[in-house]
Structure 1
Amino acid sequence: MASDQQLSAIKNSKVLMVGAGGIGCELLKTLALSGFQDIHIIDMDTIEVSNLNRQFLFRRSHVGQSKAKVARDAVLKFRPSISITSYHANVKDPQFSVDFFKEFNVVLNGLDNLDARRHVNRLCLAAGVPLVESGTTGFLGQVSVHLKGKTECYECQPKPAPKTYPVCTITSTPSKFVHCIVWAKDLLFAKLFGDKNQENDLNVRSNDGHSSSDHSEDVFEQREDEDVEQYGRRIYDHVFGYNIEVALSNEETWKNRNKPRPIYVKDVPTGNLTQQNGNMREDGDLSAMASLGLKNPQDVWSLAENSKVFFEALKLFFVNRPKDIGNLTFDKDDQLAVEFVTAAANIRASSFGIPLHSLFEAKGIAGNIVHAVATTNAVVAGLIVIEAIKVLQKDNDNHRMTYCLEHPARKMLLMPAEPFEPNKSCYVCSETPLSLEVNTCRSKLRDFVEKIVKSKLGMNFPLIMHGSQILYEVGDDLDADMVAIYSANLEKVLSELPSPVTSGTMLSIEDLQQEFSCTINIKHREEFDEEKEPDGMLLSGWTQPSTLNKNELVGNGGSTSNALLAEGTENATGKKRKLSDISKPTTSDGSGLAESGNQNQPESLDDDDDDDLFISDDLESLTKKKRSQ
């Protein structure tokens, strides 16, 4: 039974929920049933059919509607006396300022992407509001509490970078199906349906007799004298046939590798699939599978079937979606895009002797999907509410970071651990200066803004200053002259800016919306490894202490805290923490049991829903390591 103190803290609180997806639905229900009276929800997404298997507040009739609004209406049906305010909006919108966050007693995150998490973390720090973070990935999950100045913030430890692959492996020597997926998604799909002017390794000129002697013709340009079917066959022969032959001409490459097999249209019998009536699925999505009568997404198609899907998907794009051509990027929720990428990846896999995969499997790899488990979402939501109640009671000594994973020695499925203290090297909450190695004579201010300030530092409206000189600023209140000056600065190399940025320069970067600032010390560097350092810049200073083993960190999935679960490792303050120090979950603190099972980790962080979120490859490897002991 809850004490009078708990009930009072709950009823008098004002709570902000960010995210109304898999975790969010469970969380809103649990908050309402626990007695919370004033709840606000922010979510920018609309409901999709794929959400319905676990986001239980939604029904098929709700598809296309706001998640936040429908979740509010659903809960008010069984708790009509409470106040729930919904915002169908992006949490990064200007209306959700630091002053807005100050209205709340606690913020509860059920988010699905790193960028939004960082933004909320900074707003909570600026507003001095406690944050409870969470996330799930299949049977794994975690919940953590972040109190300004008392525990580490979300960004106290760097998050594992999305896995990348060497360009040469993707373009020339794939050995795994994921290599074929990356090739089909980031090279072929992008070249056919995205920016036509981009250059990539698919632009090897054809020897089909149509190219000019100086090889000036782009193979991917549709000719005036060919229809879509002829165009598709020419592209097929080029990327799966001729390009493979070009690769085979380098005999040194294949001395210790199995040689690929060029595949041409004439070699593949595609006449065994007949056109069906209609090219739409039941949900209204344009589909090559529907057009060809292929119904089960878990079937592994033959080479002939993949080839047929390739041609049919290409035709449907050009005939039914011509306005999209030239502007598309791959989206795992675009059925036709998934079909095309699956077919192209399988044809390439067949060429290189790699096992073929079903559309269901290929979509998971291409979209970095780990399929959701509703029970995990429910357990994590319960843990969020438990920690929120502790926050409201000012019970700061009893907060726990809780991990949903199997502890083989104790047969535990929930593992609580004490929160870590702030990392003194964190550039967000400890304001530690960063260092940036960059070629100041070649890199433009635009490169710095896009690759470092926005991508690495997560700022939305940056202000960049060198001393008292403003080099760049974003804002609606800027006059036309200032906008022109800052736009011109973007195209200048760093060393040629009005206030030159050279080795030893200290830049101040500020985001007024987040009320966050940091400093970066510039170090000039002549050369960078294009494979290992593709940005041509190297940011450092924001790292975990050298005593920590990166492979023993629980990283950037739903939660933020990097609890060390390996025997005898140290936390950010140097304090030893062992598995034996982690308290056992008991019914008194509300912990329960989560399901457990093996998971295939995705290749990189995705931003769809919390079901697609991953904690980190490190967590999975750690789980496996402990099971083997």
Structure 2
Amino acid sequence: MATDEQLSAIKNSKVLMVGAGGIGCELLKTLALSGFQDIHIIDMDTIEVSNLNRQFLFRQSHVGQSKAKVARDAVLRLRPYINITAYHANVKDSQFNVDFFKEFDVVMNGLDNLDARRHVNRLCLAAGVPLVESGTTGFLGQVAIHVKGKTECYECQPKPSPKTYPVCTITSTPSKFVHCIVWAKDLLFAKLFGDKNQDNDLNVRSSDVGTSLEDSQDVFERRKDEDIGQYGRRIYDHVFGYNIEVALSNEETWKNRNKPRPIYSKDVLPENSSQWNGNVRKDGDVSAMASLGLKNPQDVWSLAENSRVFLEALKLFFVNRPKDIGNLTFDKDDQLAVEFVTAAANIRASSFGITSNSLFEAKGVAGNIVHAVATTNAIVAGLIVIEAIKVLQKDSNNYRMTYCLEHPARKMLLLPAEPFEPNKSCYVCSETPLSLEVNTCRSKLRDFVEKIVKVKLGMNFPLIMHGSQILYEVGDDLDADMVAIYSANLEKVLCELPSPVTSGTMLSIEDLQQEFSCTINIKHREEFDEEKEPDGMVLSGWTQPSAEKNKNEPAGNGENTSNALPAEETENATGKKRKLSDVSKATTSDGSGLAESGNHNQLESLDEDDDDLIMSDNLESLTKKKRPL
């Protein structure tokens, strides 16, 4: 039973929760029932049908509405006398600045992606507000507490590198079904329905080797007055037939590999099968499966069925959704997009002798879906509230990181561990300089901004300085002349900038929104391994723990740790020992972890865009002192 001191701390607190999905729904309910009186929620998402099996505050009638606002209304029916403020917005919006965060006594995360987690971590550090971090994946979960100066911050330990695949594997030599999904989603779908000006490694010029199909015209452009059925077959024949023949012409590639077979539409379907019948699903959404009478998403389609779905989905996009063409990105909740990508991936898989998958399975791979467990979310939400109450009471001696996993040897499901001290080599909370190896005579400032500053360092509005010289800045208050100067700088190689960046240069990078800054020491390097170092840059220091020290650590987010056992000890930068779990190497259906954007030498493997599926860190940090809660 709560003491008078606890009840007073709870009642007089003002708390912020970020995320109103699987964890967020449970967390809001638990906060309200625990006596919290002033709760603020930020979530940018709207409710989808796929959320309803575990996000219990939502109903079918809420689909399409704001998660934050619907969650608020639902909980107010339970506790109408408390104050709940909902923001249907992105936590990275400018209104949620450091001053906003300073209003709260504790911040609680129920987020689904690394980028947002890093952003909230930095704002909490700048505002001096404790952060309770959490994550679940299936039956696994964890809660960690981060207090500036007392515990390590969320970024004190390097996060697993995103799983990506080299372009040559995706475009030329796929060997797994996931390779076909990445090709269909990130190349073909993006080229047909996305931004026409984007860089795309798909072979789009049939004139490259003198074919007569198109004379130096982009084959993906629909010709004037071209029948939609003819257009679909032309695309089909190009990507599954002609491009495979081009690949086969390089005999070196296939000396030690099985050769793919070209597939042309005329060999699979009769000519009249491309006629469109205009069927739509009962809910109003166009569907190739509905048009073709395919009902079970768990059936594995034949090559002919995949070909029909491919052509039908393409036609439905152009006939029923013409306004979307040119602006689409793949969305796992877009039925037609999933149908198209599944069919395209299966046809490519057939060509390369790879086993086909059902739409249900393909959607899981393409959308990074790991089926969530509502009970795990509820347990984790309860643990978040326990740690939040400790924060409000300033009970720092009893802070705990808690892992929700089965521990056979100890017969425990919850493994608590004392939080670690701040990592002295963390570039976020200790201001330790980083090092970047880069060819300063070849790499442009744009490469540095996109691949390092935004992706690796997670900055949203960077300011880059060399000494007192500003090389690049982002902001609404910049005049046109400054915007033009910084835009021009982006296209210059590093050594040709107004203040040249060469070996030994120390760059200062700052994000004013996050009130976060760091320094990077530049080291010139001539050559890079295109396969192992596709960025052409290597960031080191905090981000590169030694392979020897980490050889027993789990491979990444979302791994199956249900059989975790105590393993050997290693030391972190503070000299404090941490136990590593002997984690099973069988990954969940997400397969990879966060995919890096803006990288044209590697392709994104999978998106992390479901709401409560991604662990906030590896389940690998267990100390000697473990006490049941």
Q: TM-score, normalised by structure 1?
A: 0.89
1:610 aligns with 2:611: yes
* 1:329-367 Cα shifts (integer Å, max 9, x gaps): 222222211111100100111122211111111111111
1:147 aligns with 2:147: yes
Instruction: Report the AA paired with residue 133 of structure 1.
Output: E
1:549 aligns with 2:538: no
1:42 and 1:514 map into 2 onto residues whose CA distance is 17
1:578–1:159 Cα change, 3 Å: closer
1:435–1:45 Cα change, 3 Å: same
Aligned residue for 1:455, secondary structure, equals helix
Which residue pairs with 1:228 in the alignment? 228
Stretches of structure 2 that go unaligned for 5 or more consecutive residues are 595-606, 623-629
Aligned residue for 2:301, secondary structure, equals coil
1:487–1:601 Cα change, 3 Å: closer
1:106–1:517 Cα change, 3 Å: same
1:167–1:484 Cα change, 3 Å: closer
Instruction: Report the AA paired with residue 477 of structure 1.
Output: D
2:544 and 2:249 map into 1 onto residues whose CA distance is 46
Which residue pairs with 1:202 in the alignment? 203
Which residue pairs with 1:583 in the alignment? none
Q: How much does 1:70 deviate?
A: 0.8
Which residue pairs with 2:604 in the alignment? none
Range with bigger deviation, 195-204 or 166-175:
195-204
Which residue pairs with 2:218 in the alignment? 218
* Aligned length, in residue pairs: 598
Q: How much does 1:68 deviate?
A: 0.8
Contact persistence 1:317–1:325 (CA under 8 A):
yes
2:220 and 2:483 map into 1 onto residues whose CA distance is 37
Instruction: Report the AA paired with residue 381 of structure 1.
Output: A
1:199 and 1:42 map into 2 onto residues whose CA distance is 35
Contact persistence 2:160–2:555 (CA under 8 A):
no
2:129 and 2:507 map into 1 onto residues whose CA distance is 29
2:245 and 2:161 map into 1 onto residues whose CA distance is 35
* 1:429-472 Cα shifts (integer Å, max 9, x gaps): 01000111222222222222222112211112211111111222
1:470–1:494 Cα change, 3 Å: same
Contact persistence 1:552–1:564 (CA under 8 A):
no
Instruction: Report the AA paired with residue 200 of structure 1.
Output: D
2:37 and 2:497 map into 1 onto residues whose CA distance is 54
Which residue pairs with 2:600 in the alignment? none
Range with bigger deviation, 182-191 or 246-255:
246-255
2:433 and 2:551 map into 1 onto residues whose CA distance is 22
1:424 aligns with 2:413: no
Which residue pairs with 2:102 in the alignment? 102
Range with bigger deviation, 16-25 or 324-333:
324-333
1:414 and 1:270 map into 2 onto residues whose CA distance is 60
1:256 and 1:555 map into 2 onto residues whose CA distance is 31
Q: How much does 1:205 deviate?
A: 2.1
Range with bigger deviation, 14-23 or 315-324:
315-324
Which residue pairs with 1:352 in the alignment? 352
Range with bigger deviation, 191-200 or 100-109:
191-200
Match of 2:589 among 593, 596, 600: 600
1:382 and 1:298 map into 2 onto residues whose CA distance is 36
Range with bigger deviation, 147-156 or 279-288:
279-288
1:178 aligns with 2:167: no
Which residue pairs with 1:167 in the alignment? 167
Q: How much does 1:572 deviate?
A: 3.9
Which residue pairs with 1:584 in the alignment? none
Aligned residue for 2:350, secondary structure, equals helix
Contact persistence 1:300–1:356 (CA under 8 A):
yes
Aligned residue for 2:164, secondary structure, equals coil
Q: How much does 1:67 deviate?
A: 0.9
* 1:144-170 Cα shifts (integer Å, max 9, x gaps): 000111111011112112211222222
Instruction: Report the AA paired with residue 194 of structure 1.
Output: G
Contact persistence 1:297–1:358 (CA under 8 A):
yes
2:538 and 2:336 map into 1 onto residues whose CA distance is 38
1:3 and 1:65 map into 2 onto residues whose CA distance is 39
1:481–1:418 Cα change, 3 Å: same
Range with bigger deviation, 187-196 or 140-149:
187-196
Aligned residue for 1:394, secondary structure, equals coil
1:172 and 1:411 map into 2 onto residues whose CA distance is 49
Q: How much does 1:18 deviate?
A: 0.5
2:277 and 2:247 map into 1 onto residues whose CA distance is 41
Range with bigger deviation, 184-193 or 141-150:
184-193
Which residue pairs with 1:112 in the alignment? 112
Which residue pairs with 1:263 in the alignment? 263
Q: How much does 1:271 deviate?
A: 8.8
Contact persistence 1:548–1:571 (CA under 8 A):
no
Which residue pairs with 1:504 in the alignment? 504
Aligned residue for 1:259, secondary structure, equals coil
Which residue pairs with 1:625 in the alignment? none
Instruction: Report the AA paired with residue 576 of structure 1.
Output: K
Instruction: Report the AA paired with residue 336 of structure 1.
Output: L
1:220 and 1:236 map into 2 onto residues whose CA distance is 10
Which residue pairs with 1:439 in the alignment? 439
Which residue pairs with 1:460 in the alignment? 460
Contact persistence 1:167–1:531 (CA under 8 A):
no
Aligned pairs for 1:30-429 within 5 A: 30-196=30-196, 198-203=199-204, 205=206, 210-211=212-213, 216-224=216-224, 226-269=226-269, 279-429=279-429
2:427 and 2:330 map into 1 onto residues whose CA distance is 33
* 1:177-203 Cα shifts (integer Å, max 9, x gaps): 101111111222122223445452433
Contact persistence 1:465–1:472 (CA under 8 A):
yes
Aligned residue for 1:610, secondary structure, equals coil
Range with bigger deviation, 383-392 or 316-325:
316-325
1:422 and 1:127 map into 2 onto residues whose CA distance is 17
2:99 and 2:200 map into 1 onto residues whose CA distance is 46
2:210 and 2:47 map into 1 onto residues whose CA distance is 48
2:49 and 2:525 map into 1 onto residues whose CA distance is 50
1:444–1:149 Cα change, 3 Å: same
Range with bigger deviation, 89-98 or 446-455:
446-455
Aligned residue for 1:87, secondary structure, equals strand
Q: How much does 1:408 deviate?
A: 2.4
Instruction: Report the AA paired with residue 604 of structure 1.
Output: G
1:355 and 1:607 map into 2 onto residues whose CA distance is 24
Contact persistence 1:211–1:217 (CA under 8 A):
no
Contact persistence 1:138–1:372 (CA under 8 A):
yes
Q: How much does 1:209 deviate?
A: 5.9
Range with bigger deviation, 144-153 or 158-167:
158-167
Q: How much does 1:609 deviate?
A: 3.0
Which residue pairs with 1:527 in the alignment? 527
Q: TM-score, normalised by structure 2?
A: 0.89
Contact persistence 2:423–2:572 (CA under 8 A):
no
Contact persistence 1:508–1:519 (CA under 8 A):
yes
Alignment root-mean-square deviation, CA: 2.7
Aligned residue for 1:306, secondary structure, equals helix
Contact persistence 2:314–2:340 (CA under 8 A):
yes
1:276–1:77 Cα change, 3 Å: farther
Which residue pairs with 1:576 in the alignment? 577
1:202–1:600 Cα change, 3 Å: same
Aligned pairs for 1:477-488 within 5 A: 477-488=477-488
2:108 and 2:335 map into 1 onto residues whose CA distance is 33
Instruction: Report the AA paired with residue 240 of structure 2.
Output: F
Instruction: Report the AA paired with residue 480 of structure 2.
Output: A
1:258–1:85 Cα change, 3 Å: same
Q: How much does 1:556 deviate?
A: 5.4
1:433–1:187 Cα change, 3 Å: same
2:534 and 2:579 map into 1 onto residues whose CA distance is 38
